[in-house]
Amino acid sequence: MPATAQKSAHQSASPSARPSIIKILYAESDETTLSAQAAEMQKAGHRVTTVLNRQAVQDALRYDAFDLVILGATLSKDDRHHLPYMVKKAHEGTKVLVMHAGTHHHEVDAVVDSNLSMQRILEKIAALLQPEPAS
């Protein structure tokens, strides 16, 4: 089992379909799940860097910044609990979405049931990264 696996891909979307590219770090412990889900995110026009396991998330955060970190359902419950703190410590403005989370703690910006369709997950990603209205 590889300690880390990192891949980046970028697919352009038409300006009318997506005004900006979302830079995502997506982590799972299962390579098959990681590849399938990341491919769907890339088709939606997101730039996705994939990593396997907790250490790979930490390594990726040392080398790059992301708009969003997605912690997938195949990561351990312990990883899904501790990694949001590590993400915010490394890059305070980065949003964190946890898939298959039972509870919501203050370092997590959104949770989503991993049994939802990819379309619903993509909608959640888009809503999470909408600019907040000026007061």
pLDDT in tens, 67-107: 999 999 999 989 988 999 999 999 999 999 998 756 566 77
Q: Residue 43 has what pLDDT?
A: 93
Contact 66, 96 (CB under 8 A): no
Residue 87 and residue 61 in contact, taking contact as beta carbons nearer than 8 Å: yes
Query: Domain 7-11+19-127 maps to which CATH number in 2.60.40.680, 3.30.420.40, 3.40.50.2300, 3.30.2390.10?
Result: 3.40.50.2300
Task: Output phi, psi for 49, to 5 deg.
Answer: -105, 125
Report pLDDT for 135. Answer: 57
Closest CA to 114 of 34, 21, 25: 34
Summarised one tens digit per residue, pLDDT across range 22-77 is 899 999 999 999 999 999 999 999 999 999 999 999 999 999 999 999 999 999 98
SS (H, E, C) the chain: CCCCCCEEECCCCCCCCCCCCCEEEEEECCHHHHHHHHHHHHHCCCEEEEEECHHHHHHHHHHCCCCEEEECCCCCHHHHHHHHHHHHHHCCCCEEEEECCCCCCCCCCEEECCCCCHHHHHHHHHHHCCCCCCC
Residue 64's CB: how many other CB atoms inside 10 A? 13
CB atoms within 10 A of CB 126: 13
